[in-house]
Amino acid sequence: MFNACLGFTGARTDKMSIANEYKGRLPKKILDEVASLTQGSSEAKVRKLLEEASREYEQAKVEPGECVGIISAESIGEPGTQMTLNTFHFAGVAEMNITMGLPRIIEILDGRSEISTPMMEIYLKQPYSKGKDLKEVTLAIRQTLLKDIVSEFLINVADFSIEVKLSQERIAEIGANISSIAAAVKQAAKGYNVSAGKDSLVLKKKERDNGINALYTDKEKIKQISIQGVKGITQVLPVKRGDEYVIITAGTNLKEVLSLEFVDDSRTVSNDVAEIAKILGIEAARQAIINEVFKVIESQGLNVDIRHIMLVADTMCNLGVVKGITRYGVVSEKASVLARASFETPIKHILNAALIGEEDKLDSVVENVMINQPTPVGTGLPGLVTKVKR
């Protein structure tokens, strides 16, 4: 058995070393495929196959100077014309709608910091993912404001106090009790003395110098006090996916949710690219852009090669921050005045360039098209370089 073991590892390292030789020339996916296809084959055969594969791979590569950006634009744009303009995807119940279709694509590619329907998919850890304490978990995630559990507000002008009558039913629904509510209110309502009764809270103002008007504005603030849950999460919806429960939410708060004890912090995602960039970094944002755009295109039954989306995502994340494909985003970073002017608001760009005496090196595509010169694309790209002998 010892010998068999040794023989096995020997053959393995052999094949590994051949694969390693090709590591820079072939991607991991192809190497893995070759390895799985050639189990038990001789070294010469493996080498021959790898040689053939790398030749084919070299031929399949995009040529230098190929204008991949235009190809991507066309490849995403053409199926985009067939996309339904405004579709809402219902995730189980009618109240939860998610922007999909063209508006969603525009939203992602513009790199908006506020999206129209923020949403999270919260995965849970064992044993919560199997449905343990599902109600408690959802309650801990959804934000409950004081106004959600109040039956009425009474303002007592005489002794500058606000009485908050709580609804017992609602309190039972959210699984809280009056002392925990009082504690939450006490912490948030500065300048008030809070005392809890049987089913009501009395907030008495400490200082009276601002008159009763202040009491009314404070009432509105008190309504918004958060009793429990995560700030920003307005709706929760547990769904069963495969054999585990996933919680879909309206509203996002990635940082707080990932810090919750029962949340699986490796899989939980938000659909807000800007938030992902802030919490998880630029690389995660790039991946999120790809995932989100692909999700929309797929849901519409369209077929766009993922490489085109990857190119767009790379462009957007090139500078370390998410930049939209807008005149304020990636276009504003172009070195050429004419290229910027050709996108949007041409007069503004040309005037500003004239004011500060900007120079255009004419080393990109658009500006050369404008002045009827060969563009540095395809066969126009290479130039002659001579090494000057001194």
* Contacts to other proteins by CB under 8 A: 27-32, 140, 258-261, 265-267, 269, 276, 278-284, 287-288, 306-307, 310, 314, 317-321
Of 163 and 256, CB closest to other proteins: 256
- For residue 288, the minimal CB distance to other proteins (Å) is 6
Of 157 and 319, CB closest to other proteins: 319
Of 95 and 305, CB closest to other proteins: 305
| Element (DSSP H or E) covering residue 123 | strand 119-123
- For residue 27, the minimal CB distance to other proteins (Å) is 3
CA distance 288 to 280: 10
Of 60 and 347, CB closest to other proteins: 60
CA distance 329 to 323: 5
CA distance 64 to 379: 9
- For residue 314, the minimal CB distance to other proteins (Å) is 8
CA distance 321 to 286: 10
Of 113 and 217, CB closest to other proteins: 113
Neighbouring CB atoms inside 10 A of 22's CB total 19
CA distance 212 to 154: 13
CA distance 66 to 38: 35
CB half-sphere exposure, 358, CA atoms < 13 A: 17
- For residue 71, the minimal CB distance to other proteins (Å) is 15
- For residue 271, the minimal CB distance to other proteins (Å) is 12
Q: Are 22 and 54 in contact (CB under 8 A)?
A: yes
Of 68 and 214, CB closest to other proteins: 68
Of 325 and 369, CB closest to other proteins: 325
CA distance 68 to 307: 10
- For residue 258, the minimal CB distance to other proteins (Å) is 4
Neighbouring CB atoms inside 10 A of 317's CB total 23
CA distance 250 to 210: 38
CA distance 347 to 341: 7
Structure tokens at 216: 């009314």
- For residue 91, the minimal CB distance to other proteins (Å) is 21
Of 136 and 344, CB closest to other proteins: 136
- For residue 277, the minimal CB distance to other proteins (Å) is 9
Give the E-state strand segments of 44-113 in sequence order: 87-90, 97-100
Q: How far apart are the two ends of the chain, measured CA to CA in Å?
A: 70
- For residue 31, the minimal CB distance to other proteins (Å) is 8
Identify the bridge partners of residue 119 per DSSP, sorted by sequence position. Answer: 250
Give whole-number Cα distances, 57 to 30, 142, 311, in Å.
9, 51, 20
Three-state DSSP class for residue 268: coil
Of 146 and 273, CB closest to other proteins: 273
